[in-house]
Structure 1
Amino acid sequence: MRPTFSIICFTVLSGIGYGAWFLAGISLATHPLCFALDESSMSRLPGSLCNLPLTNLVSFLLAFALVATGLLCSLAHLGKPKRAWRALSQWRSSWLSREGIAALVTFVPASLLALTGFLVWTTNHPSWVFAPFWSMFALPLLGICLSAGALITVYCTANIYSSLKTIRAWHDRKVVAAYLLLALYGGLLFATAMARSDFAWMSVRDALCVITVMVAIPCVWLKYRYWRSLDTQPHISTGHAVGLELLGITRPLEAPHTEENYLTREMGFVLARKHSRKLRAIAFGLILFSPIVGFLLGLAIGPAASWLALTGGTLGLFVERWLFFAEARHAVIAYYGR
């Protein structure tokens, strides 16, 4: 399949944003009273709206912007984006429709939390934060809904590709697992970069780096298994496509057209194996070693290393996602003798 920049940006940016929302929802569900912004709240886990009056609110809004930008990029791939709303009616059979519905529903708790964080930031110690209903029920519930919505949305996005039987590279259970793990990986990189930079939080930042490395290892292992199975798949011949494989070698007498058409251009993207291996190695290195290098550099140059790790890890995700599309070939290409 021809790699499209809009779809690559959609899956990578929204994946990082949803990963950050997933972590923020868990943090908020387990520490709802951190909205109080008192001294005791500074010992809470990072990732929710509450530990840092400005920085953490900004981090949540940045994750909000990543998700929104990714979804807008997905609309750019459509022929007529104004009709995108019609796809929501096919939720019974379409993973694309389910993804759209899940994305819209997830914006509800995210918007409420963003509004709450803004009110907490602008109002010093609002009394309604301490109300039992709000602090013990509403905030944890919003956090749970946010995490669940982010998880379901990424799951639906992965199943858009995994459900396509005509593209063997995508019709694999490892695709869904890889999407979920890489989204969590991106969210952890984002949370590490946004963690508080003073001395009291350095141990938390270091812990996040270690957790990110622990998540990066299964990500790389899963992608290795995926690419290995992709390389060992048997080639679909033209004879198999037309049902004449038992009669011997089948090949077209002449090309059905004199130039490329839509099918050969969009569904038969050719990537040389040597280039594929180089790009896989680059993706492996960036995804695995970015948090490790960020952790080691953080001991020398401080919090700025987390941003370097976020940049390197994000580049690795872009390379991995480009390969995900470039190495996939639609079954219809077999009819063209390719």
Structure 2
Amino acid sequence: MHPAFSVIFLTTLIGAGQGLFLALVTGQLYAIARFLPTQVDQFYAIGSLVALILLIVGLLASFFHLGHPERAWRAATKWRTSWLAREVIVLPIVMALVFAYGAVHWLGWTMPLFQVGELLKVDATLLLGLMGTIASFALFVCTAMVYGGVRFIQEWHTPLTVANFLFLGAASGFMLAAAYSAYIGNPLVTFFGTWAVILTLAGLASRAAHLIRNAKLKHRSSVQTAIGIRHTAIAQKAQGATGGSFNTREFFHGQSQSTIEMMRRIFLIVVFPIPIVLIGAAYITASPTLPILAFIIQYFGLIAERWSFFAEAKHPQNLYYQSVA
């Protein structure tokens, strides 16, 4: 498939935004349980603002992939059958909950609404955080299933696609939370950094399993099935036209196999070991810049990972449109 950078930025930016929001809520829950020191409301409010900006920029990036952006709202009407429609519906819900979570913290509306047991005091921020968490997980699933639900692209049609989007998005979000904490001198760098490493390792296991699975795939379609001729020796000499077309541009990346393999090696190094090493070094040196560098490097690696995700997918139509006369 052709890796459209608008979609690459959409999926990586909203993934980091969702992950950052999940990190903030996780930190609040740990503070409620008294495993972490309680943070001021401004910490959660500014963090939510950053998460919201990432979600908005990711949404805006997606419009560059549309032929008629003014008709984008129509996608939501097919929510019964389309994962894209569900994503279009869930994304604004996540954005609204992230905004509300940050706004309530900023305004200091943290008086308990009711109490559960003797210790748990439930306020509006906790309720909004839990609802936002559920919505964020739903958005991860919807975004991943836009691709994982395509049965005829076998490289995508696997539960590992959902796992990859979830783990990698959450890892980048927790890495950003560690960078945010380091930037403002907050002591939660170690907490967020540790979770970022755990999620990065989970993403490595999931993505490696995905690559191994795809390397062993036996495609159901062939040149014979593409043209309806069962002869065993068929060699395509032309695609039926003397130049490119929508089919050759939109469904094929046009890069060599060596380029795809190079991008795979790049993201396997840049997304996983380098950020983990930088976070570990930040623990030892107490450096405020290494967590920030770890997030930046990992995010650029995720761009390469998402490019590879699209490029490694073999659309069946390319069995026919694979050469130009």
TM above 0.5, yes or no, is: yes
Q: Deviation string for 1:98-129 (max 9, x for gaps)? A: 01111122223222222212223xxxxxxx53
Q: Deviation string for 1:62-116 (max 9, x for gaps)? A: 1110011101111221111111111111100000010111112222322222221
Does the 8 A contact of 1:13 with 1:66 survive in 2? yes
Counterpart of 1:160 in structure 2 is: 146
Does the 8 A contact of 1:95 with 1:160 survive in 2? yes
Relative to total residues, which structure has the larger helix share, 1 or 2? 1
Counterpart of 2:272 in structure 1 is: 288
Over 3 Å counting, the alpha-carbon distance change for 1:200 and 1:234 in structure 2 is closer
Q: Deviation string for 1:215-270 (max 9, x for gaps)? A: 2122112212212222222354311223323x222244643111011011111223
Identity of matched residues, %: 26
Pairwise CA distance, 1:176 = 0.8
Q: Partners of 1:200 and 1:67 in 2: how far apart?
A: 24
Q: Deviation string for 1:155-196 (max 9, x for gaps)? A: 100000011122222112211111111111011101111125
Counterpart of 1:47 in structure 2 is: none
Structure 2 counterparts to residues 182-261 of structure 1, below 5 A: 182-195=168-181, 201=187, 204-234=188-218, 236-245=221-230, 247-252=231-236, 254-261=238-245
Asked whether 1:308 is paired with 2:296, we answer no
Pairwise CA distance, 1:32 = 6.4
Asked whether 1:330 is paired with 2:318, we answer no
Segment drifting more, 2-11 vs 295-304:
295-304
Does the 8 A contact of 1:29 with 1:144 survive in 2? no
Over 3 Å counting, the alpha-carbon distance change for 1:258 and 1:21 in structure 2 is same
Over 3 Å counting, the alpha-carbon distance change for 1:252 and 1:196 in structure 2 is closer
Output the amino acid matched with 2:68: K
Give 5+ residue unaligned stretches, structure 2: 116-120
Counterpart of 1:132 in structure 2 is: 113
TM-score, normalised to structure 1, is: 0.85
Over 3 Å counting, the alpha-carbon distance change for 1:29 and 1:108 in structure 2 is farther
Does the 8 A contact of 1:2 with 1:325 survive in 2? yes
Structure 2 counterparts to residues 32-43 of structure 1, below 5 A: 43=37
C-alpha RMSD of matched pairs (Å): 2.5
Q: Partners of 1:114 and 1:207 in 2: how far apart?
A: 21
How many matched pairs?
Answer: 316
Counterpart of 1:7 in structure 2 is: 7
Q: Partners of 1:198 and 1:23 in 2: how far apart?
A: 16
TM-score, normalised to structure 2, is: 0.88
Over 3 Å counting, the alpha-carbon distance change for 1:297 and 1:30 in structure 2 is closer
Q: Partners of 2:241 and 2:207 in 1: how far apart?
A: 37
Asked whether 1:179 is paired with 2:179, we answer no
Over 3 Å counting, the alpha-carbon distance change for 1:172 and 1:199 in structure 2 is closer
Give 5+ residue unaligned stretches, structure 1: 34-39, 45-50, 121-127
Q: Partners of 1:275 and 1:255 in 2: how far apart?
A: 24
